[in-house]
Amino acid sequence: NERRGGGGGGGGERLRPAYDGSEATLQERISLVFPPTTNARGEVWHEFVAVIPREGKYCGQPCAVCNVVGCPMHGRIFHQKNLATHARPRGGGVRSSVFSRQHDAAYNAFVAAFSAGEASAPEVQRQIAETLPPPPPGAEEGEARARRPASSFGSSRRRSGNCPACRGKHRAHTCGKRLRHSGPASGSRARHKRQRHSGPEA
């Protein structure tokens, strides 16, 4: 059920689990690059939780959810091939110098608290969440969108909460809203247009 992850004949070579399309074998593969952490009671916590979306942009593809509370992308779905550009690879076989420093700092804070005691992962996550500053305006909606089922990731509809124009910025609307002229101004424009095209009266 396993195969070697590279060429050569080194005896110390790590085995790479065969991916059979299940989340269990996907988690095994992810754990080689991002090893799980264990607390004093033996509870295991994963930095990324394997998931295979049934709908949307990544339907049927190997993905994972960021499981690090305090990371700005906590709860977001990533394709497996993009994990090493979000988090620092901690296992063997993969190296990357491009990763989120915010994720890395949040990961280190969680692991330091979780691995040192017997508190469960949800308890440590709750403790850390209580120390975090309040999210900026609009961030809660963005987080809710990130946690929705994968089918919503392919939607092209914009929401007014993320629209710069709806927030008072001098920008074009990105929420689908169109400006409509109403009242006397629009009426005078229409009369002026009719007069311009009707020509002189007989």
What is the CA 96 to chain-centroid distance, rounded? Answer: 19
Q: Is 49 exposed, middle or buried (0-12, 13-18, 19+ CB in 10 A)?
A: middle
Res 10: pLDDT:
42
The conformation of residue 51, written as its DSSP 8-state character, comes to E
Q: Is the pLDDT of residue 111 over 80?
A: yes
Contact yes or no for 172/165 (Cβ under 8 A) = yes
Res 15: pLDDT:
64
Q: Is the pLDDT of residue 124 over 80?
A: yes
Instruction: Report CA-CA distances (Å) from 104 to 90, 120, 200.
Output: 11, 21, 75
Please state which of the ranges 23-27, 48-52, 64-68, 174-178 shows the lowest mean pLDDT. Answer: 174-178
State which amino acid sits at residue 3.
R
In the chain, DSSP finds a helix count (H) and a strand count (E) of: 6, 7
Contact yes or no for 84/96 (Cβ under 8 A) = yes
Please state which of the ranges 33-47, 57-71, 73-87, 181-195 shows the lowest mean pLDDT. Answer: 181-195
First to last CA, the chain: 93
The contacts of residue 169 (CB under 8 Å, 6+ apart) are none
Res 4: pLDDT:
39
Which of 178, 195, 179 is CA-nearest to residue 187? 195
Please state which of the ranges 20-24, 30-34, 100-104, 137-141 shows the lowest mean pLDDT. Answer: 137-141
CA distance 26 to 28: 5
Q: Is the pLDDT of residue 94 over 90?
A: no
Res 131: pLDDT:
87
Please compute the mean of the pLDDT values over residues 49-63 and round it to a whole number.
94
Please compute the mean of the pLDDT values over residues 9-34 and round it to a whole number.
78
CA distance 22 to 20: 6
